[in-house]
Structure 1
Amino acid sequence: MVLASTVKLNSGNSIPVLGLGVYQTPTDVADSVVQKALDIGYRHFDSAAAYKNEQEVADAIGAWLKKNPNVKRKDIFYTTKVFDTEHGYEATKKLIATSLEKAKAIDYIDLFLVHSPQSNYEKRHGTWLALQEAVESGKVKNIGVSNYGIKHIKELLAYPDLNIKPAVNQIELHPWLGRADLVKYLKDEGIAVEAYSPLARGPRSKRVDDPALGEFAKKYGKTNGQILIAWSLAKGFIPLPKTVTESRLISNFESLNFKLSDEDIKKLDAFDVYGVTGWDPTVYPLDNEKEENK
């Protein structure tokens, strides 16, 4: 099985085009799931402070690297995130220190994201300043955001002390939630687009089982999930499917081995109904909007 290729971020660093999301991956299986994924060829892992499994994921990567000295630390990409409750300069500095301690088996963090914009201007601003300092320290290589809408990105880009532009915005994306305007804005700004819930599974929906999607799976001789991941890759996104099942780890990774036709990509694009399957902080109001709504 071939390794996932990489793309360049606006920081100049590279990121693998396919990752493994570890949201809801239990701590007692994280080690085996991550090491099996590495055996398969995954080189990109997406965690968060809120997932409560940073330590286990980082330890698993560190243990696997020791057993596989031919693979270097620089070949693995590890992400974590600052949750909303830790926004603000001082709170984020403490959170970064804690996350780095949990990641000591792998020495540094490749990408630190603001998990969502759900706080206020002062706290979001303070969090970004703390993240910029973390990059300057050398222990965090890239910083970015998650669940940010256009207005949140514009606010960030207007910070008077902005030194580092977000490398990434991680958002829910799949054919039923294409977010064309937001995606275009991000690409115009040179911000990479990561797709979480690329299989359209969530509390509100199980669209992965849609019979219309199954027609594409039959045509290509692939699974519904593979069609969705291939669509995400074709759109230039970095999909982060999550699973703890070995067969699905393999199946998802094999999505790298085929491409959809341009015609079928357009047909899948037409599924779009703004079908959010989980939460949607991209619409979270800015401070002035809250005042207007009082």
Structure 2
Amino acid sequence: MGPTISLGNDLTVPRLGFGTFQLQGDDAYRGTRTALEVGYRHIDTAQGYDNEAEVGRAIADSDVDRGEVFLTTKIKPSNAAAGDVRSSTEQSLRDLGVDQVDLILLHWPAEKYAPLQETLGAMTVLLEDGLTRAIGVSNFPSAMLEQAFELAPVVTDQVEHHPFLGVDPIEKVLEQRGGFLTAYSPLARGRVTEDATLSEIGEEHGVSAAQVTLRWMLQKPNTVAIPKSGTPERVRANFDVFGFELSDAEMQRIHGLERQQRLIDPDGGPAWD
């Protein structure tokens, strides 16, 4: 399972998780099964991924006890109104085949559909009623994240983050508020494999550029990474990052690659920091 972050109340978040974005049908099922077999104990899905049923079935069919799996899903922005928060979460639980998820996030800012106070209020009720063990947000820039912390007991902001895209303002808010960062697309959709610095550091340790990147994430404070892959070999390789350690100098070299290269910025998205 590797390192974890403790949220209290016996809830711990494995810092290396398996993302399922763009994995559909059998690919989502097989990918999740493989991840659990390899040792991942944190699985990330979403209503918008259209794969909750396959992910849930893979967890149920695995040899891993449900209590050992930290399971995250996300509420679609179009389900941000209070009644839809509740009904869509209940549908997610049915699709996943579970009574409770460990973490539920608002997938994108959704003021178009409902005020943030209404959405987070409804999510807090989900927490109080035991449908989830924790709540958070996703794709929130720092000012919106501050607002979210004022309105509800959120624990994380899940955002795009990799060596080429720093998120310092968000990390600062999370540090001040006691939350953690969840990094999606931590491998920059494969672009890390083309970077000379990451490859050079990898050669020093006998590992790949992707493994160097994930190790860098794990050595940063309060950061969770959720790489996605539909290839079993890469799923395994992405988890094989606990046998080496980066030096302070190597960490700084990787920090120096930051150039605000955002890969996911859909129309209607927030104004980023």
Q: Please, what TM-score do these two structures have when normalized by structure 1?
A: 0.86
Mapping for residues 137-148 of structure 1, pairs under 5 Å: 137-148=129-140
Encode CA deviations 1:105-162: one digit per residue, 9 max, x unaligned.
x332111001111424943222211211111111211110111111112222333xx4
1:276 aligned to 258, 262, 265, which one?
Answer: 262
Distance 1:11 1:177 in 2: 33
Distance 2:265 2:10 in 1: 31
2:115 matched residue in structure 1: 123
Partner of 2:233: 247
1:257 Cα deviation from its structure 2 partner:
2.4
Per-residue CA deviation, residues 185-210 of structure 1 (Å, 9 max, x unaligned), is: 211211111110100117xxx34312
Relative to 1, partners in 2 of residues 1:157 and 1:29: Cα closer, same or farther, differing over 3 Å? closer
| Aligned: 1:153 with 2:153 | no
Distance (Å, rounded) in 2 between the aligned partners of 1:119 and 1:223: 41
Tell me the equivalent position of 1:263: 249
Structure 2, gaps ≥5 residues long: none
Corresponding pairs, count: 270
Amino acid at match of 1:134: L
Provide closer, same or farther for how the CA distance between residues 248 and 73 of structure 1 changes in structure 2, counting only shifts above 3 A: same
Asked if 1:16 corresponds to 2:14, the answer is yes
CA distance in 2, matches of 1:154, 1:248: 36
Report how far residue 260 of structure 1 moved.
0.8
Matched, 1:133 2:125: yes
User: What amino acid sits opposite 2:194 in the alignment?
Assistant: D
Distance 1:117 1:72, change over 3 A: same
Q: CA deviation at 1:216?
A: 1.2
- RMSD (Å) for aligned C-alpha atoms: 1.9
- Of the candidates 92, 97, 112, which is equivalent to residue 85 of structure 2? 92
Q: Does 1:101 align with 2:99?
A: no
Matches within 5 A, 1:184-203: 184-201=172-189
- State the one-letter code of the partner of 1:75: E
Partner SS for 1:257: coil
- State the SS of the aligned residue for 1:59: helix
Pairing 1:19-34 to 2, within 5 Å after superposition: 19-34=17-32
- 2:204 and 2:270 map into 1 onto residues whose CA distance is 35
Question: Which residues of 2 match residues 38-49 of structure 1 at below 5 A?
Answer: 38-49=36-47
SS of residue matched to 2:181: strand
Q: Do the aligned partners of residues 48 and 21 (structure 1) sit closer, same or farther apart at CA in structure 2, a change above 3 Å counting? A: same
2:69 counterpart letter in structure 1: I
Q: CA 1:110–1:89 in 2, change beyond 3 Å: closer, same or farther?
A: same
- Structure of higher CA gyration radius: 1
Question: Helix, strand or coil: the match of 2:115?
Answer: helix
* Inter-partner Cα distance in structure 2 for 1:100 and 1:158: 27
Give the superposition deviation at 1:175: 1.3
* 1:228 alignment counterpart: 213
Letter aligned with residue 14 of structure 2:
P
Aligned to 1:50: 48
Q: Within 2, Cα distance between the matches of 1:186 and 1:199? A: 22
Q: Structure 1 unaligned segments of length 5 or more: list them.
A: 286-294
Tell me if the contact between 1:88 and 1:127 (Cα under 8 Å) persists in the aligned partners: yes
State the identity %. 31
Greater shift after overlay, 263-272 or 209-218? 209-218
Aligned AA (1:6): T
Query: Could you tell me the TM-score, scaled by structure 2's length?
Result: 0.92
Partner of 1:179: 167
Q: Which amino acid aligns with 2:219?
A: A
Secondary structure at 1:141's aligned position in 2?
coil
